[in-house]
Structure 1
């Protein structure tokens, strides 16, 4: 069994050849998932496809639950819960791994199409925390759904195939950017300037915008008013790629938090059914505070647990809270990695290192731990023991220096119900950029960690 904790020896150097092979194979499956699950809707579709192939059935159709049953809950096509019923009653507690499927992007506004000097643009509103200047001059794909006046659902996915057109947000050329270059990075590109070029051709007797709207009508049956009832996202069209001669890293859009979500999926599919019910929670809206009826601030997870309790003869609100107090959870979200190019923002001895295993994070929050769950020592010890006994490579991590960084996860929401929770996920570089970077070894250890947690007592 490999050494599980080290600040001097990377995971790859601790692995045997079989483990290295498994790491690289996992990386290929993960990249395929990233390129398929470009939005939270597409992620749910792919997750349910794999789950149903593995024998998971809708929880809302079940009449009873017995040990070994595999069930799922689809929350409006944007969040999903997968559960494997344990030998003990659900009331005795759950083993939960909670990750999120949404990731920073650009959403089209309700009235997005406009023309300026012969160029047709999509107006956007950015979703989640981004550095706006990073989203210019890259190929973008348009993915989502539109509902027409008649109620027809139209699915759009343009930009990910090699022969698809892409969309593009321009930036000012360096030759004329003297004034722009004097601004701060935050001011150089404004939110209203994140407008994607989508057409320029006009036709006889038609302006460029009118020609584009005619194309929408002829191709999709969409009229301009229909954009008001659409949910369309612009996401980077760049495919996932290996980085480095040794192919040790993966660069891709959306790895926060789909690296943890994919590990969560693989873990629930491959874990041995345990004493306790295992629940893979893959939720939406984390990047904007977990609001909305598909985010963790809503009641859908409560309903999922109470439904499972009811199918075993329980189901009161009191029994829900008792169940949660008996439950344990890994808040499966990414952490920052120490970047040797920007060492001034991290305190090296307490920061995650690239390629050193899954990051166990006692607290998140900002400055005085504001907004943090701050896991207790007893649960930290239990999780560490699980990882050590299962041979999982792990490390500690925090989000930057005390007065520098900060961030939050869904951990505190689950803790509000009495659940034991600790943040635990993959460390990465360039988080929230259009092309995040992380270690294949860390991604694989994340999967091993969640699987070991599901199987633990």
Structure 2
């Protein structure tokens, strides 16, 4: 039998209204959670409303218990304890909730030509020119000199000011930018935001930078900040616009941060919507730092997965040893829930069409990622690929296969290899996007809903 896939909207049994309603809630999640800290807060609030309690409040756990773990406000783990002995394995769905963005430098503020600017450092893989001349909002947290914390969001309310990175006008750009490579049309050090232009009214001969001083006055009045406080702050610049329907038929969604909050939201909703106690313990893990290599204490290269899994074993069994942890991980299944690149008819030359993902063809099963000769990847074994294929077919889920571009075109990685390194059977499964890593990524509503259905079935039925 030939491998034949078709556009999912051709399925007459699709509940279009249910799909559109689900995606309306998804868009709201994108608007409320534009940083990893915000997304953890959003997810935690939903979890508490659905009966999840802090794991630290429970000495023992039994089948049906619903608990959460939070790691440094940047990881959220939701757990539904299953009926089966935990050493027979856990079903993990692991997404990342960090997205490419622009961070402020630790000493960002300066004045020149009677304008105040702030210097930035981009985070993750971006096309830098895409971030110029668009409205940006500032999100972050600052710890003041006295230890007090301030959460700051500027640019999301209708009457808020926004920020922008000015680009060079085309009339003067031919010589200055014309010969630059695409990656340097805007250079990293040129990603600077305008923050003000009115000088202070303070009369003091020692104040040389009057506009910079006025900005510091405003920060001090509003947030109690002084210039040194930027050192103990995390400030991110993200697109100021909201998630929108795309197309006359409203079948698509355009928004910032869909890589990978589309998987974060669908996996979150999947575990919240479980109506029965699963056979295997179900874990939804929202991670950080994937876009920069999964390093740090909140990335998948830390041992946080082993930490909370050990705690689960201890609370379920009433005892713990390292061999129990190793058995549990080795017997576990995981979906590295991350996005793939949808083939764009404008740029289809970067794809090999027979193995490329397309919008509206359902969730994408990606056996391997990496670059060129499969470097930097988990290459799922045939047996595990079959088990996922069988699960999707058995439950009537619209799915497709996908590679991340032609063999020598480039490539990319996910968290899959870090899950596999501790023995968990793992494969990448998530929807496809157009314009990935841009300020306005495009997804299919049908694919989003099929992603949710996949994760829910995985939690419920994967053995």
Could you tell me whether the CA contact under 8 Å between 1:6 and 1:395 is conserved in 2?
A: no
- State the 1:313 CA deviation: 2.8
State yes or no: 1:208 paired with 2:208. Answer: no
Could you tell me whether the CA contact under 8 Å between 2:5 and 2:400 is conserved in 1?
A: no
Distance 1:151 1:226 in 2: 10
Distance 1:414 1:183 in 2: 40
Could you tell me whether the CA contact under 8 Å between 1:260 and 1:446 is conserved in 2?
A: yes
Aligned residue in 1 for 2:207: none
Q: Secondary structure at the match of 1:295?
A: coil
Distance 1:45 1:388 in 2: 35
Could you tell me whether the CA contact under 8 Å between 2:60 and 2:318 is conserved in 1?
A: no
- State the 1:372 CA deviation: 1.1
Aligned residue in 2 for 1:265: 268
Structure 1: stretches of 5+ with no match in the other structure: none
Could you tell me whether the CA contact under 8 Å between 1:6 and 1:356 is conserved in 2?
A: no
Aligned residue in 1 for 2:187: 190
The answer to which of 360-369 and 58-67 deviates more is: 58-67
Distance 1:215 1:448 in 2: 48
State yes or no: 1:344 paired with 2:369. Answer: no
Summarize the Cα distance change of 1:6–1:139 in structure 2 as closer, same or farther, 3 Å threshold.
Answer: farther
Distance 2:405 2:305 in 1: 31
Could you tell me whether the CA contact under 8 Å between 1:338 and 1:351 is conserved in 2?
A: yes
Question: 2:445 aligned to 428, 440, 443, which one?
Answer: 440
1:400-428, Cα deviation, whole Å (9 max, x unpaired): 00000311111111111111000001100
Distance 1:132 1:403 in 2: 23
Distance 1:296 1:124 in 2: 26
State yes or no: 1:90 paired with 2:90. Answer: no
Question: 1:283 aligned to 281, 284, 287, which one?
Answer: 287
Question: 1:33 aligned to 20, 29, 34, which one?
Answer: 29
Aligned pairs for 1:148-187 (under 5 A) are 148-179=144-175, 180-187=177-184
- State the 1:6 CA deviation: 7.5
Aligned residue in 2 for 1:320: 325
Distance 2:152 2:454 in 1: 36
Instruction: Report the aligned-residue RMSD.
Output: 1.2
State yes or no: 1:408 paired with 2:408. Answer: no
Distance 2:9 2:319 in 1: 47
Distance 1:63 1:79 in 2: 22
Distance 2:228 2:3 in 1: 58
- State the 1:161 CA deviation: 1.1
Could you tell me whether the CA contact under 8 Å between 1:7 and 1:356 is conserved in 2?
A: no
Q: Secondary structure at the match of 1:338?
A: coil
The answer to which of 308-317 and 289-298 deviates more is: 308-317
State yes or no: 1:14 paired with 2:11. Answer: yes
Question: What TM-score comes out, normalization by structure 1 length?
Answer: 0.97
State yes or no: 1:230 paired with 2:212. Answer: no
Summarize the Cα distance change of 1:381–1:115 in structure 2 as closer, same or farther, 3 Å threshold.
Answer: same
**Residues matched between the structures, number:** 452
Distance 1:125 1:164 in 2: 24
Q: Secondary structure at the match of 1:143?
A: strand
